[in-house]
Structure 1
Amino acid sequence: MRVTAVRKWVAEFGYYNAIYVRIETDEGVVGESEVAMRRRTRTVSALIDELGEYLVGKDPTRIEQHFERMYRDSFLGGTLLTIGISALDIALWDLNARALGVPVHRLLGGKFRDSVPVYTHARATETPELFAKEVADRLQRGFTAIKTTLPGFYTKVSSVHHETPAAIPARQTETELLPNWIWRLIAEYFDAARETAGPDVHLMLDCHGRLNVANSVRLAETVEPYRLTFIEEPTPPERPDWLVEVARRSSTPIAAGERWANHYGAAPFLEQPAVAIAQPDVMFCGGITAAKRIATLAETHGVSIAFHNPFGPMASAATWQLAATLPNFLISESMITPQQMAYWDRYTENPPRVSEGEWKVTDEPGLGPRLRVEEIVKHPFKPEYDQGGTR
């Protein structure tokens, strides 16, 4: 079996654009995938074209070899490179599983669990009272784990596009002065959330690297009474030693890893250790191959995996197929909202479904979903209104 073509389509997906990929072979077996990189869609799209040229004519069963070639032969690394690799790596796993008529999790060692727990998002909104209503809505949908972004830094927000101005300016860096009232405000939000959710619902806080070490410690002290499951990326992602200091002084577990570029990018954070919870993104880090390596490395350091995954159906399917096989898996992010699900149903057949905060592991061949290319081409690339302003 040989690869005959790598095809790609870019489709508007609300506040970002998704890139869908199909690898075709001379035996008629295909593999499909999805990636996205908000603000850099066209860059990643061009990279996939170049990497796809390498794959044409190759044996698609040599997944490990292709991962190494695509990474090492590119000379320069980084997440922008590994996103392109992810698109082809995930599609190769899908292709190989479909060729054998088995689910991807079978090729990865088989099921460790029969269901994959996932959490959802609740917007920080303009007031603690409105945030509590957001939390109540997620509970009514069956979720028992909910994450939000930093109150005051993010209010009514889609991704990082502010529909109403945040109290802390979007381009304020981690080294600039914060008002004293911000800590009181954050406490008020989580006090309202905990009162609504009760003691057993998992609450999590994503900071997007907006704080320095000193303010991250103050944040940890502020939210300690509310027993959060984790604080995500309190400091910028470039310095693992900053996270080490925060983790040492926080009783709340520290999580990070969505911006790691494969296992080499993860290693400095896991070896120090800088995190109690690792958050690789299967779509960012180099695909299923890289994410599995990161998970194994994390396991040797006693670190749990909570996958970053705020994207669409194929990305979610790849993430959860791998999650089903991992002994150190904790929970996965999801973006299961009515607005997002409309895109899932438009662009794929048989998208994964979440019920009562879990994805039930299936035995369908490959990743499970299939692309609806006839619909994807009707919704081409749309310039993104998010042109930056926060990490």
Structure 2
Amino acid sequence: MKITSIDALQLPSGNKGATTRGAWSPVLVRVNTDEGICGWGEAGLAYGKGWRAGRGMIQDFAEQIIGMNPMNTEEVWETIFRKTFWGMGGGTVVSAAMSAIDIALLDIKGKALGVPIYQLLGGKTNDNLRTYASQVQFNWGSDITKQELVEPEEYADVTLRAMEEGYDCVKVDPIIVPDSSGKSWNIRGPLQNHVIKTVYDRVAAMREAGGEDLDIIIEMHSNTDTMAAIQIAQVLEPLRIFYYEEPAHPLNVENFTEIKKKTSIPIASGERIYTRQGFRQFFEKRLLDVAQPDLCLCGGLSEAKKICDMAWLYDSNVQIHVCGSPISKAAALQIEAAIPNFLIHEHHQRALNPVNRSTCKYDYQPENGTYKVPDLPGLGQEPTEDCIAKADIVTVAAGMKYMK
């Protein structure tokens, strides 16, 4: 079997805010073969700024691997890493392109062998995957009007709505949305008292509404610095926080060292940490109680399995970071089925959006806060024909590098 061509697609998103940081522009890859089997993958740049660069990098890397055997996933990964020059440089865009291609190759391999990807990763260890409602500060549901919650009562209400759907765990960023006072809202320390009080009041309202059986994950999106992260952690400790995600940016590991010393709350990160090299120092310094590799950013399913195995060695649990199209979700479910240190699955508010859900053939959704793992060959997911027809596609093929 040989790779004959590679398509880089930008999906129609239905997002009118395409010029904003919160724009939604999923980028997929389709790897085509001479045996008629194709595989799908995703670059983890659907949000923020970077999707154009990711799609361009997929095209550049495609040139290097046309003609290779897609079943030889390690060889293809090493070829991209070592023979493209920038593959060894790493970073968000490079790793996103590598990830998309690798996921597509595992999809091909699973389809060719007639087995789901989890069988290629060691077989099923988990089936009923505990799931949490993610980013409830942006409300919860498939049809919402208000998208940023402000008052503590709103945080209590959204918690109850998620619990009514069967979730016993929610994730919230309690500091990203300013309060209604009109005062300055600086979220890097030292923090003003009204900021600290607002954060505490919001989470306390969630704890009271959810009771002691609810787990609450606190997300900082790396927007806080070390001092602010410590201040927030210390004030929230009495509210029994499940874990504390991205309390500071991961570019300086010593910032995490300082935060880890100052709080008993478990620390999590990984969305902006790439490949084994990126995670290594965090594990060696025992800074991550919960590792959160994003399959569409960390180097793909092949690389994520290695990262999860490293996490196991350091008694770190794993919550795959998921914020993309249904392709990224399907990939996450496959690896979560296989790894023994799986903790919980992330079900993002974006995953409830009808436009996002309609891009792919299967609408996998949790039931009573739990996911079942798909058993179809490969990823068990692919875009609809209508979605592909509407996508902006660039193809790289032998002798014809780019064609619309």
Cα 1:337–1:40 change in 2 (3 A) is closer
1:362 pairs with one of 366, 369, 374: 374
Partner of 2:215: 202
- Picking from 281, 300, 313, the partner of 2:313 is 300
User: Contact 1:82 / 1:286 at 8 angstroms: preserved in 2?
Assistant: yes
**Residue aligning to 1:266:** 279
Task: Describe the SS at the equivalent of 1:333.
Answer: strand
String of CA shifts for 1:51-98, please: whole Å, max 9, x gaps. Answer: 112221110111011111112223321121010001100000000000
Q: Does 1:250 align with 2:289?
A: no
The equivalent residue for 1:371 is 383
2:182 & 2:64 partners in 1: Cα distance? 45
Call closer, same or farther: CA 1:370–1:338 in 2, change over 3 Å. closer
What displacement does 1:336 show?
4.9
Structure 1 residue 374: Cα displacement = 2.7
Query: Residue 239 of structure 1: CA displacement?
Result: 1.2
Q: Which runs of 4+ in 1 moved over 6 A?
A: 164-167
Work out the CA distance in 1 between the residues paired with 2:315 and 2:184.
36
CA shift for structure 1 position 205: 0.9
Report if aligned partners of 2:9, 2:391 keep a CA contact under 8 Å in 1: no
Size of the aligned set, in residue pairs, is 369
- Give structure 2 stretches of 5+ with no counterpart: 16-22, 139-148, 394-404
The one-letter code matched in structure 2 to 1:129 is E
Provide the residue aligned with 1:332 in structure 2.
345
Take 1:96 and 1:304, find their aligned partners in 2: how far apart are those partners? 27
Matched residue type, 2:260: A
In structure 2, what residue type is equivalent to 1:54? Q
**Matched residue type, 2:250:** P
1:112: Cα distance to partner?
A: 0.4
Q: Which residue of 1 aligns with 2:177?
A: 154
TM-score in terms of structure 2 length: 0.86
Who is 1:68 aligned against? 78
**SS of aligned partner of 1:347:** coil
Quote the Cα distance in structure 1 between the aligned partners of 2:324 and 2:182: 24
- Mapping of 1:341-356 within 5 angstroms? 341-344=354-357, 346-356=358-368
Identity of aligned residues (%): 29
The whole-number CA distance in structure 1 between the counterparts of 2:307 and 2:187 is 29
Q: 1:134 to 1:150 in 2, by over 3 A?
A: same
Aligned partner (choices 201, 211, 236) of residue 188 of structure 1:
201
1:8-47 maps to which residues of 2 (within 5 A)? 8-13=8-13, 14=15, 15-37=23-45, 38-47=48-57
CA distance, structure 2, for counterparts of residue 373 and residue 21 of structure 1: 15
1:131 and 2:155 are equivalent in the alignment: yes
1:276 matches 2:300: no
In structure 2, how many angstroms separate the alpha carbons of the residues matched to 1:154 and 1:216?
16
- Alpha-carbon distance change, 373 to 53 in structure 1, aligned in 2, over 3 angstroms: farther
Deviation of 1:342 after TM superposition, in Å, equals: 3.5
Contact conserved, 1:241 with 1:274, CA < 8 A, in 2?
no
TM-score normalised by length of structure 1: 0.89
How far apart in 2 are the matches of 1:342 and 1:141?
21
Tell me the secondary structure at the aligned position of residue 125 of structure 2: coil
Aligned AA (1:65): E
Match of 1:224 among 237, 261, 278: 237
Q: Specify whether residues 366 and 154 from structure 1 end up closer, same or farther in structure 2 by C-alpha distance, changes over 3 A only.
A: same
Opposite residue 136 of structure 1, the aligned amino acid is L
Contact 2:61/2:84 (<8 A) preserved: no
Is the 2:267–2:288 Cα contact (8 Å) retained in structure 1? yes
Deviation string for 1:290-313 (max 9, x for gaps)?
A: 111110111111111111112221
Structure 2: distance between partners of 1:184 and 1:215: 13
